[in-house]
Structure 1
Amino acid sequence: MRYFQLPGRSPVLATNGMCATSHPLAAKIAIDTLARGGNAVDAAIAGAVILGLCEPQMTGLGGDAFALIKPAGGEDILALNGSGRAAQGSSAQKLRAQGLKTVPVNSAHAVTVPGAVDAFCTLSDRLGKLGMADILGPLIPYFESGVPIAPRVAFDWALAKESLQGSARDVYLAQGKPLKTGHQFALPGQAEVLRRIADKGRDGFYVGEVAEDMVATLKAAGGAHVVSDFAATACDWTDPISGTYKGIDLVEHPPNGQGATAILMANILKHFDITALDPMGSKRAHIEAEAAKLAYDARNRLLADHDHTVRLMHMLDAGTAEKLAALINPKRAMAAAAPLTEAIHKDTVYITVVDRDRMAVSLICSIFHSFGTGLASDKFGILMQNRGAGFTLERWHPNELGPGKRPMHTIIPGMLRQNGRVTMPFGVMGGAYQPAGHLRFLSNMVDFGMDAQSAIDAPRAFSDNGVMSVELGYSDTVRAELYAMGHNVRIPEGPIGGAQSIRIDDSGYLEGASDPRKDGCALGY
């Protein structure tokens, strides 16, 4: 429960439908979609697409998406993998021969074929009610006329302006400068792309002029992409994976996502009496940091494209977690786990929607780094993701770059389930932070009795690549204690991640929560 004498926000309560996401316009459009007869899938697609205009540094038509869906009338959870694959002409050997140790993040080599549009069309066809034309129609005027840039978006824009290159600078900068709060930003080229998707479905994007525009831009930048790489794009229905933390099932997406990392962290933390610790104290932050180091090290070694991932069950096994937990010294930080050779970044959007029939959608999408590769297609202005930077160039590694492979992905949607009933779709943005964020959010509620909004509001810390980022919400005393334990402590330049959730109360109402670290909100009706 929040203290009403202090700054904060209350959870949002409603009965007919709810959306929580990182921009208020996306939340409103999702609710409008529900109110005019759409279901949670229709609303989530509409909100996710408009986020590509509202937060173009984070997401867009040139990115990927993952979703967990609980259809109405049951408690089964479906998983859809909408992540794209490397071009058939991709070769780790060729990049190694050029002396490269990693896939360059701002190069065409880092561009995997975008999977989000195919995922949206697939979700609409199988589970939606309105159809893509009806979903996208109300969005097109916004892309044509624009929306004012929100404060957090402007903050991110300024940090990433130098990553934009070529024709992308004409579309995403104003006379070479980043857009500021209140600047009206439009994407008329993408409005035309949406018309084509509305008319032809996925073929409006992956076949014909739109795909040819993307391929031509990539070829000019040295990429190996051909039109057939785009035409062959197809998302996959998969089976979720899950683990249990103190009676709550944590449901995650299987590889190539990093959801197994969150489950391993949950199993490690079971071996410590977290409830006995100060929720905002150094001892809890230390234990979580050590658990993250161990779980992320396992991720770095084992996770890849589903067809190449090795020893997934080893990561999910309770015995593995027990052995790793025994390595944690409650008073002293261990050396950092082996760093990733591939790039890790934090730019992602998340949207969750629950409708009146209690269909629940947990959807996350991204172009990876801020503005992706910084490359945009010349005619339509589609920013292209650099998810291929998530591959390694290490020979024989399961996550080695290869033709038609999917890279290890950082974005993971989540759901919570208790006694067989889905109680909450949720997500935590923030690149590598996401598994640790899932556990911090869950632990805040389970171990310390926080409601979802309070659990999201609470300060965060994250240890990654030898640095422990500790938000300003922690005291200087806590930072000093962590430093004394051996952590390389710093205050991050920006906030750590962002989260959204909707709790499905068994009495019939919905409770939405949204992270103040973002511009968004939860809305219901």
Structure 2
Amino acid sequence: MNPYLKPLSLLTTLLILITYHTYAQGDREADGLNFASRSEVIGQNGMVATSHPLATQIGLDILKQGGNAIDAAIAANAATGLMEPTGNGIGGDLFAIVWHEKTQKLYALNASGRSPLGLSYDDLLKELDEIDEESIPPYHLLSISVPGAVDGWFELHKKFGSLPMEEILKSPIHYAENGFPVTEAISAGWRRSVPFLKTQPGAFESTFTIDGRGPHKGEIFKNPDLGSTLRVLAKKGRDAFYNGEIAIKIDKWMVKNKGYLRYTDFENHRSEWVEPVTTNYRGYDVYQVGGNVQGTAVLQMLNILEGYDLKSMGYGTVETLHAFIETKKLVYEDRAKHYADPDFQEVPYDVLLSKEYAAERRKLIGETAMKDVSTGVEVIENGDTVYLTTADSEGNMVSLIQSNFRGMGTGFVVPGLGFSFQNRGELFSTDSKHPNVYALGKRPFHTIIPGFVMKDGKPFFSYGNMGGAYQPIGHISILTNIIDFEMNVQEAGDAARWDHSGSSEPTGKLTDKLSTTGQVNLESGIPYEVVRQLRAKGHKVEVGNSFFGRYQGIMRDYENGVYLGASESRVDGQAAGY
């Protein structure tokens, strides 16, 4: 090119880009898409949204082969367990909400595991005293509860599945044995985890590293041991995991390494179909799993926020964010004191989910940040993650969440099995009076929550936002973005997020309460003027420096007969339909 023409060429390109951006932004604003990073995905026959593009394609392939949304969800989850071990795997637990079109009913599954039957509360305290700990440490054999995910798959399949499990698990097995390219965000988390976890007893290093390190972006990774385990499950079913060869291997390894799970714990494991808990928010029926899961917090927060005219207050304003933050503080104190395994502790839903209780709690919210907050209900003293969603041509929809808890879990890997055990047991309290106190055969408190919304008796929106204690905040942010601020499903996830930390935890003491204003973190998309206004109200605010979760969602559009899908734009996820 003539050197004198090069600046003109660059200028022309720049003007084209500016003109295109202005035109596109104008279109986006005309359509209300002020925050969307990309368009919604639209599909007529089916939709899959997961945190990994290959897992999404695997789920979509199942739908195209004649499988239903339940088959697709199982296949996609098996794939994410392989491809995103930094968030989930068959050493963890699972929860799901399913809309079944044929029976016109919503179902909820609690597939979480229980504590060892051979470790009593008194023995636990002795063990903690020996290692000089007051609570259960996350990377210790004490933190392992029975993995419930595999039983969850087979419960879902037994009730709703259509394709055989051998067909459902075929692609995850292929990728385990032949390899898959590691994506960017997953690679970063994987490489952070390896230096510590590879020192754990067991086969972590030989299973999850390449030459002793985590894989880089684009590297091909194989996990043939997991492939072998999935082959056994595809051929022999869930009993191979809970009553057969896999349970036997785990028992022998635990005995050798002074762990606490035994064959009997696996033999006694069962998932539970439960009645989902619900509340109505501005005409939309919002559902959560409840029990030992923090989803009830979403419903409580919505009940309080229903008393505010959020639409007129505006998205991202100081008034709206102040209401959100103060509502979170109130509800999380209830969360810290009441949410526990319902087999051991009655959760007072009649009070916690009542509109009257919400109104009383709402009265506590003033013009400045609260710093002295406790539960409003008398306590009865007896007692990283992936989210995915699928939809099919029949109208079935699945909202499923699955996790190891702390990223890659404990790092304990039984040689030959290809997965790490979760550390969910860390989330028990050691306070003997607490509803969530450790006990034999008890399910610990869980942070992972699938969400589902119905409108006028029809399925409307299947969604989730993983991220530990952030999840209820993420849920109400997504829902208010759609219902109050009229965003589409992609825009609702892309809009700038907020977080608040410092509340009491279900792992703490019954006497704990929030005694400071806590910490507010905002994404940089919130105007700095709003940051200053929140600080003027007494909030401690920082921009960034927090984890704001990862989102997937599928909305059903009855008018056009299509599904609208969205996935997290901040990381590796993908929604796809056909």
Question: Which residue is equivalent to 1:254?
Answer: 290
Question: Which residue is equivalent to 1:523?
Answer: 576
Counterparts of 1:396 and 1:171, CA distance in 2? 41
AA partner of residue 28 (structure 1) = Q
Do the aligned partners of residues 387 and 478 (structure 1) sit closer, same or farther apart at CA in structure 2, a change above 3 Å counting? Answer: same
Question: Which residue is equivalent to 1:29?
Answer: 58
1:91 aligns with 2:127: no
Q: State the Cα deviation string for residues 140-197 of structure 1 (Å, max 9, x = none).
A: 1101122111111122223333441232133223333332211222111010001110
Question: Which residue is equivalent to 1:145?
Answer: 178
Q: State the Cα deviation string for residues 392-418 of structure 1 (Å, max 9, x = none).
A: 111131111111100111111111111
User: Contact 1:495 / 1:517 at 8 angstroms: preserved in 2?
Assistant: no
User: Contact 2:82 / 2:226 at 8 angstroms: preserved in 1?
Assistant: no
Do the aligned partners of residues 247 and 312 (structure 1) sit closer, same or farther apart at CA in structure 2, a change above 3 Å counting? Answer: same
Question: Which residue is equivalent to 2:95?
Answer: 66
Moved more, 129-138 or 52-61: 129-138
1:169 aligns with 2:205: yes
Counterparts of 1:160 and 1:335, CA distance in 2? 37
Displacement, 1:225?
Answer: 1.3
1:202 aligns with 2:255: no
Do the aligned partners of residues 71 and 475 (structure 1) sit closer, same or farther apart at CA in structure 2, a change above 3 Å counting? Answer: same
Counterparts of 1:321 and 1:198, CA distance in 2? 47
Displacement, 1:487?
Answer: 2.3
What is the TM-score when the length of structure 2 is the normalising length? Answer: 0.86
Moved more, 87-96 or 179-188: 87-96
Q: State the Cα deviation string for residues 30-80 of structure 1 (Å, max 9, x = none).
A: 110000010000000000110011110100011111111111235310111
Aligned counterpart for 1:121 among listed residues 137, 147, 154: 154
Counterparts of 1:151 and 1:277, CA distance in 2? 38
AA partner of residue 396 (structure 2) = M
Question: Which residue is equivalent to 2:323?
Answer: 287
User: Contact 2:182 / 2:218 at 8 angstroms: preserved in 1?
Assistant: yes
Instruction: Describe the SS at the equivalent of 2:452.
Output: strand
Aligned counterpart for 1:364 among listed residues 401, 404, 407: 401
Instruction: Describe the SS at the equivalent of 1:123.
Output: helix
Question: Which residue is equivalent to 1:302?
Answer: 338
Counterparts of 1:135 and 1:31, CA distance in 2? 11
Instruction: Describe the SS at the equivalent of 1:394.
Output: coil
Counterparts of 1:171 and 1:487, CA distance in 2? 45
Question: Which residue is equivalent to 2:567?
Answer: 514
The within-5 A match list for 1:207-218 is: 207-218=243-254
Give unpaired runs (5+ residues) of structure 2. 1-26, 376-383, 503-517
Instruction: Describe the SS at the equivalent of 1:368.
Output: coil
Do the aligned partners of residues 238 and 453 (structure 1) sit closer, same or farther apart at CA in structure 2, a change above 3 Å counting? Answer: same
Question: Which residue is equivalent to 1:426?
Answer: 463
User: Contact 1:68 / 1:80 at 8 angstroms: preserved in 2?
Assistant: yes
Moved more, 234-243 or 150-159: 150-159
Counterparts of 1:199 and 1:59, CA distance in 2? 23
The within-5 A match list for 1:117-516 is: 117-164=150-197, 165-166=200-201, 167-307=203-343, 308-335=345-372, 347-465=384-502, 466-493=518-545, 495-507=547-559, 508-516=561-569
Moved more, 213-222 or 201-210: 213-222
Question: Which residue is equivalent to 1:344?
Answer: none
AA partner of residue 11 (structure 1) = E
User: Contact 1:287 / 1:330 at 8 angstroms: preserved in 2?
Assistant: no
1:47 aligns with 2:76: yes
Moved more, 359-368 or 93-102: 93-102
Do the aligned partners of residues 105 and 13 (structure 1) sit closer, same or farther apart at CA in structure 2, a change above 3 Å counting? Answer: same
AA partner of residue 158 (structure 1) = R
Bigger CA radius of gyration: 2
Moved more, 508-517 or 67-76: 67-76
Counterparts of 1:441 and 1:211, CA distance in 2? 40
AA partner of residue 290 (structure 1) = E
User: Contact 1:23 / 1:518 at 8 angstroms: preserved in 2?
Assistant: no
Counterparts of 1:384 and 1:410, CA distance in 2? 17
Do the aligned partners of residues 216 and 31 (structure 1) sit closer, same or farther apart at CA in structure 2, a change above 3 Å counting? Answer: same
1:11 aligns with 2:48: no
Counterparts of 2:146 and 2:188, CA distance in 1? 28
Moved more, 153-162 or 55-64: 153-162
Displacement, 1:479?
Answer: 2.5
Displacement, 1:92?
Answer: 3.0
Do the aligned partners of residues 117 and 290 (structure 1) sit closer, same or farther apart at CA in structure 2, a change above 3 Å counting? Answer: same
Counterparts of 1:337 and 1:478, CA distance in 2? 27
Displacement, 1:96?
Answer: 2.6
Counterparts of 2:333 and 2:88, CA distance in 1? 27
Do the aligned partners of residues 19 and 337 (structure 1) sit closer, same or farther apart at CA in structure 2, a change above 3 Å counting? Answer: farther
Instruction: Describe the SS at the equivalent of 2:401.
Output: strand
Counterparts of 1:19 and 1:190, CA distance in 2? 24
Question: Which residue is equivalent to 2:510?
Answer: none
Counterparts of 2:115 and 2:209, CA distance in 1? 28
Instruction: Describe the SS at the equivalent of 2:308.
Output: coil
Moved more, 195-204 or 278-287: 278-287
Do the aligned partners of residues 147 and 392 (structure 1) sit closer, same or farther apart at CA in structure 2, a change above 3 Å counting? Answer: same
AA partner of residue 188 (structure 1) = P
Instruction: Describe the SS at the equivalent of 1:213.
Output: helix
Instruction: Describe the SS at the equivalent of 2:61.
Output: helix
Q: State the Cα deviation string for residues 448-492 of structure 1 (Å, max 9, x = none).
A: 111111111111111121322212222333333323322232344
Aligned residues: 517
AA partner of residue 280 (structure 1) = G
Counterparts of 1:423 and 1:118, CA distance in 2? 28
Q: State the Cα deviation string for residues 110-130 of structure 1 (Å, max 9, x = none).
A: 111000000101111110001
User: Contact 1:332 / 1:486 at 8 angstroms: preserved in 2?
Assistant: yes
Counterparts of 1:221 and 1:393, CA distance in 2? 24
User: Contact 2:500 / 2:519 at 8 angstroms: preserved in 1?
Assistant: yes
Counterparts of 1:294 and 1:6, CA distance in 2? 29
Counterparts of 2:34 and 2:553, CA distance in 1? 24
Counterparts of 1:423 and 1:238, CA distance in 2? 21
Counterparts of 1:109 and 1:2, CA distance in 2? 52
Instruction: Describe the SS at the equivalent of 2:105.
Output: coil
Displacement, 1:333?
Answer: 3.9
User: Contact 2:148 / 2:271 at 8 angstroms: preserved in 1?
Assistant: yes
Identity %: 37
Give unpaired runs (5+ residues) of structure 1. 339-346
Counterparts of 1:278 and 1:38, CA distance in 2? 43
